[in-house]
Amino acid sequence: MRKLASDHRNLCTGIWRAAIATGPRVTIVSLTVAAVLTSVVVLVGMSIDGASEPAPAESQRAAELNTSQARQPIEVSEGLGGRAGVTHVLPTGPSLPEQVTRRLGDYDGRERSAQALPAFWQPGSEAEVISALMEAMTDEERVAQVFLLGWQGVEPSRRIMDWISQRGLGGVKVFGWNADDLAVLTDSIRTMQDAALTGEHAVPLFTATDQEGGWVRHVRGNTSRTPGNMAIGATGRAEDAYYSAYYIGRELRTLGINMNFAPTVDVYTNPEAHVIGSRAFSDDPIQTAILGNAFFRGLEHNRVIATAKHFPGHGNASGDSHGILPVLEEDLDSLRERELVPFEYLIRESVPAVMSGHLSFPNIIEPHLPSSLSRFFNITLLREELGFQGLMITDDLQMVGARSYEWRNNLSFGELALAALKSGADMVMLSETPPLNGEVWRTVYSEYRDNPEFREQLDSSIRRILRTKLEYLSDEYRVTLQPHAHELIRRIPDHVGREFFFDHAARSVTMLQEGSLPLEADAGSRMLLVGGNRSFLNEGQAHYPGADTLRLRSGFHDVAASDRQAIRDRMSRYEVIVFCLTSPATGELLELLRGHEGTVVVLSTLTPAYLADHDWIDAAVAVYGIAQESFQAGFAALRGELEPKGTLPFAFSIGG
């Protein structure tokens, strides 16, 4: 199998490179051919280099899942234009959730009348059900479907419950502040779905979050902490992408979360793109496309709706759209040849949703207009040129990258939301719940009632939303609409997944500069461990008994004066300093060790791009996650117990 993987990679690389030289259209055809080869390795040959198919214990675990937790696939062969090489599940009709069956009452064994069923759960073809729903829904119920809202606090607020019960809200977004206590989160999701399913038409909610793996993990608690996308890029293995998403998806299923804003398919071309960093797979658009597609398939296996982001590509932006509107100088040809390649590929592979980023492209559209508000990007490029038929969802409109347009043009926030919808977005995400009858609602709803052109456009979006819900949320294989906290102990963390993530962390370790390595265990008696991550310090002391520690307090960008002073005061006392590099701030602190008479070794986490100006260090190893497993693997490499086999997935050299 190891030879199969090697031959597969070599053949795919040849296909990809020849395609790039020929042009973007041929590239996509070649990517599809390469995807078939990838599927052979991902779905048939998972035993390569220690990554195996689910063990018998895992297969038994899957068999124990109830119908809301497991899929028994019906194999369907598809042509290259579809999801090549994937085993599909064919829905056999609506499977009524308990919330709906309770409404039907006791029929004493008599056959239930179809007329008694809420509109969403009526039998019929997809087109028939959508047509009946659109006919039955009021204007308010239709418009509410385009909102994806966060809520404040841990339990659902009164305001979010009013949006669900009185309006028929389209979806909710789980942020980090909602998700520390998984039992409370599970109860909250069940409460909100109960409210949605007791509405007149019983249309279930999208329940979405950002569970990318690695750095971005909005649902915390006991969920798996994974090495992340750049670690997947470092192994270059589609099966690592697939299984990362597969195990993440299994945990989301248990929680009742049916939509994940992943994979991140931004091409990491700019090391200054700090907000992307290790969230990217690679600086290679072809590798990003292949790994992103494998990640999508892993989520799809669990019936979790995958969302490719951040369209049209955030990986070359030096700023963070949470705090500014980043400006990118690419022209359209450059965008087509690089950033758009992963999106085009995933669209061909039927990814169900795409998230737009708040980015400025002054050489393509008017300056200061975020791409998320651009009809050119959302309609001309995404819909017409790339042929996307799924859901387009905005990133949070309360980010500065979007609101800068509101402030510059003296708009209201409601007018900003309306602009996003008019530009082609199907759903607008707001991290805070607006007032039920406030300005945001009044602005969008009034335009829907008064503007026939906008009404027609929004109705198309509402149909896409309903179509996606019918596809993913109506059959027996859906993510549960009634999650229960008692399932958490058995299923989260996913213990089989945890073993996989440890193996993946070890496979991805990358030697950046061998220098004075390995460091023997007895070096601990004269060693200082410097870093801000507790797992780094704990694992360091476990591998080097007797080592002293210095815990840094600096932020991501801002250096704490106390850290500067502590390093200056203590550095001369030690022969060996092992420094954990995680951010621009720690890169600045590392520079204080230049000229140290002893040995300086760097253990880099997230992206090693912050090492670019530090060619004076003695040795460096890269891990890409920030969980205990990544540090275990990293320190094993420093001691010579693990041979680093990862390959840095972007162009970089220390000092270069």
pLDDT tens for 331-363 read 999 999 999 999 999 999 999 999 999 999 999
Short-list 603, 625, 585, 620, CA closest to 278 = 625
Would you say residue 113 has pLDDT above 50? Answer: yes
Q: What pLDDT was estimated at residue 310?
A: 94
* Mean pLDDT, residues 19-34 taken together: 48
Q: Of 225-239, 279-293, 482-496, which range is least confident? A: 482-496
Q: Which pLDDT score, from 0 to 100, does residue 211 have?
A: 97
Identify the band that residue 101 occupies on the pLDDT scale cut at 50, 70 and 90. confident
Higher pLDDT, 79 or 502: 502
Band of the pLDDT at 654, cuts 50, 70, 90? confident
Model pLDDT, residue 329: 94
pLDDT band at residue 6, thresholds of 50, 70 and 90? very low
- Residue pair 258/655 in contact (Cβ under 8 Å)? The answer is no
b/e map 281-317, b = 16+ CB within 10 Å: bbbbbbbbbbbbbbbbbbbbbbbbbbbbbbbbbbbbb
Q: What is the mean pLDDT of the chain?
A: 87
Using CA atoms, how far apart are residues 165 and 599, in angstroms rounded to an integer?
63
pLDDT for the residue 99: 82
**Is the model's pLDDT at 617 over the cut of 50?**
yes
**The pLDDT of residue 37:** 52
Domain 509-638 = CATH 3.90.79.10: no
Residue 428 has pLDDT above 50, yes or no: yes
**Where in the chain do CATH 3.40.50.1700 domains reside?**
509-638
pLDDT class of 31 with cuts at 50, 70, 90: low
Whole-number pLDDT of residue 74? 26
Please compute the mean of the pLDDT values over residues 150-169 and round it to a whole number: 97
488 vs 76, which has greater pLDDT? 488
The dihedral formed by the CA atoms of 469, 151, 487 and 214, expressed in degrees to the nearest 10: 90
CATH fold for the domain made of 98-103+117-129+146-497? TIM Barrel (3.20.20)
One DSSP character per residue, 358-417 reads --B-TTTS-TT--GGG-HIIIIIIIIIIS---SEEEESPTTSHHHHHHHHHTT--HHHHH
- Please state which of the ranges 47-51, 181-185, 462-466, 596-600 shows the lowest mean pLDDT: 47-51
- Distance, in Å, from the CA atom of 239 to the CA atom of 305, rounded to the nearest integer, reads 19
For residue 323, the model assigns a pLDDT of 86
What digits encode the pLDDT tens for the residues 558-608? Answer: 999 999 999 999 999 999 999 999 999 999 999 999 999 999 999 999 999
The whole-angstrom separation of Cα 55 and Cα 502 is 16
Kindly give the residue spans of alpha helices, DSSP state H, lying in 198-284.
Answer: 229-235, 238-255
Per the model's pLDDT, the better-predicted residue between 605 and 319 turns out to be 605
Q: What is the pLDDT of residue 150?
A: 98
Residue 17 has pLDDT above 60, yes or no: no
Domain with CATH 3.20.20.300 in the chain: 98-103+117-129+146-497
| pLDDT above 50: residue 40 | no
Q: pLDDT class for 195, splitting at 50, 70, 90?
A: very high
- pLDDT for 80: 24
Instruction: Dig out the tokens for 68 from the structure.
Output: 């809301």
CA 155 to chain centre: 24
Q: What is the pLDDT of residue 18?
A: 45
Measured distance CA(320)–CA(318) in Å, rounded: 7
Cα dihedral 528, 532, 534, 540 sign: negative
In this prediction, residue 319 carries a pLDDT of 79
Higher pLDDT, 172 or 88: 172
Would you say residue 35 has pLDDT above 70?
Answer: no
Q: What is the pLDDT of residue 90?
A: 33
Q: Going by C-beta distance under 8 Å and a sequence separation of 6 or more, which residues neighbour residue 588?
A: 559
The answer to whether 266 touches 283, Cβ cutoff 8 Å, is no
Longest dimension (CA), the chain: 86
Mean pLDDT is lowest, of 19-33, 80-94, 439-453, for 80-94
pLDDT at position 200 over 70: yes
Confidence of residue 511 (pLDDT cuts 50, 70, 90): very high
Residue 108's region, left for phi above 0, alpha for psi from -120 to 50, else beta, is: left
Judged against a pLDDT cut of 60, whether residue 490 lies above it is answered with yes
Structure-block tokens of residue 403: 């609101």
- How many alpha carbons lie under 13 Å from residue 480 in its C-beta half-sphere? 24
Average pLDDT of the residues in 524-529? 92
* Whether pTM exceeds 0.85: yes
- Does 72 score more than 50 pLDDT? no
